[in-house]
Copies of this chain bind each other. A is one copy, B any other.
């Protein structure tokens, strides 16, 4: 996507370095992070320098590339395998980290020449990143078919281009609808604790899509007032039965949507599906650091990046990062292969299994 007239992806490789948009600074500053080895990649994913299903999937794939570049002749198989495990252990709920790292590992598994491994790894990582961008471009078309002129759309967290290599899942149909002249309006959930709603608002403003940020507490209020016509969210993992793991609060919005007769769609590329996990309750839920609850980040009166402690020392908090939305609450899954119902049969059919 273009920022200040220049085209960017969220992640790309330059020589021996992986470059990332530094999402911890957004929406206040637009900057970059350089990962020089696979440990930097693990740090960047864990600390949410980069976040979002597709973006961390591609970043993880590039992390394996860096591991092949770091590896020495005498033990490269173990080294690369351990590096991949380090990257995979950063965020347990996110399927794309596994899809991305395994995409590279599978491709180099039978190779026995380190130089060839490096070449194949980088080629496959670029292919994986390109596929992510391609999938989002297909998702926008399918999703856009659901959006009627004048629709007011709810979303949760950020599943725009910052969450993917480019273009986004939940937001890309909205971008396309807006670019092709439909009148759309977006209710942006704040999404505590990390307030990724600010990223969504930043993206929408860049695309001139009218929006309003609301407290997570207010989504139901606007649904009940019949001011939300549909909801589209992203996904961090989709189980074989169609249950969806996504940012904490997604389940709440899905229940409220059902109660108010609002269609609730989940947009995700096939790389987010996990056919080996039978249902949502088997997906591990990441518990993140309590500091995400205790502190809020923003800018001080001089516009410098700053934070405040919201809860005094000694306060008890819990911070589950994801929840499970059962398939029964989901109107449809928007993928690069089309829109399907959130059930085992349609998912198996889509994957041809």
Contacts and interface: CB of A to CB of B under 8 A. Distances in A.
Interface of A: 27-28, 190-193, 195, 198, 201-202, 205, 210-221, 224, 247-249, 251-252, 255-256, 259, 293, 295-300, 306-312, 314-320, 323-324
A252 B316 CA distance: 23
Contacts of A213: 293, 311, 315-318
For the residues of A in contact with B, the DSSP-based class is mixed
Nearest to A220: B252
Given A213-B316, A299-B308, A300-B309, 15 more contacts: A27-B315, A190-B192, A191-B217, A198-B311, A210-B316, A215-B319, A216-B216, A216-B249, A217-B249, A218-B318, A220-B255, A252-B256, A298-B309, A299-B312, A308-B308
9 contacts: A27-B315, A205-B314, A212-B318, A221-B248, A252-B252, A255-B256, A296-B296, A297-B310, A298-B309
Contacts of A28: 312
Given A217-B192, A252-B219, A256-B255, A308 B318 contact: no
A92 to B, nearest CB: 16
A204 to B, nearest CB: 9
